[in-house]
Amino acid sequence: MPPPAQPKLLDQVRERIRTMHYSIRTEEAYVDWIRRYILFHQKRPPAEMGKVEIEAFLTHLAVKRGVAASTQSQAKAALLFLYQKVLKQEVDWLKDVVAAKQPQRLPTDLTVDEVRTLLARLQGLHWLIASLLYGSGLRILEACRLRVLDLNFKMHLLTTRNGKGAKDRITMIYTHVLNCGGRGVISPLDH
C-alpha cells in the first residue's frame, strides 16, 4: 500500500497556523501572501526557492507596487512563517530586504470634546460599539462579539473572550455621563 499523500503546501500552512493557535484573520492573510508569492514566481514550489526569490517578491511589493510598510511587513511575516515553521528552513538574511517607506505621521488622539461630539451623533448599536471602543480599549471585532454576561458594571470589568491570538483578557470600564444627550458613556477611568 502506497504511503498517504502529503497535504498540499497551503493546507500544511493552515494546519501549522491552527496548531500554533493564530487567529483566523492571520491565517487568511498568511495563506493569501504565500499564494501571491508562489504566483509571482510562476507557481514554483517555495522549497525550490530561496533568498533571491523572496527578496525579489518583497522588493517588488515595495518598489513596483508601492505598498505601505505595514503591508510589506505582513507579507514578510507570512514568508518567514512559511520557511521557518512549515518548510523548516532558516532565513536570517531576510532582514536585508528593501523595506517599504514608512510614512511620517503624528499620532492622532481625539480630545474629550471631540469624543463627546462624535458619540452625540451616533445612535443605537453604533453608539454602543463606539462607546465600548473608546472606554475599554476593545478591538472592533471584540466589541461586535461581546455578550451581556461579559460586562460586570459592579466591578467595572469587561471580559473579552477568544480575542486576538485566541486569548481571553479582562479590561476595566467605567460608566460616566459625558453630556451626550443624557446617555451614559463607557469611558476610561481617568476622565
Write down the pLDDT at residue 164. 66
- CATH class label, 9-96: mainly alpha
Domain ranges of the chain: 9-96, 112-187
Percentage of the chain exceeding pLDDT 90: 27
3-state secondary structure the chain: CCCCCCCCHHHHHHHHHHHCCCCHHHHHHHHHHHHHHHHHCCCCCHHHCCHHHHHHHHHHHHHHCCCCHHHHHHHHHHHHHHHHHHCCCCCHHHHHCCCCCCCCCCCCCCCHHHHHHHHHCCCHHHHHHHHHHHHHCCCHHHHHHCCHHHEECCCCEEEECCCHHHCCEEEECEEEEEEECCEEEEECCCC
178-182 average pLDDT score = 44
Write down the pLDDT at residue 143. 82
Write down the pLDDT at residue 190. 39
* pLDDT of 126 above 80: yes
* pLDDT of 180 above 60: no
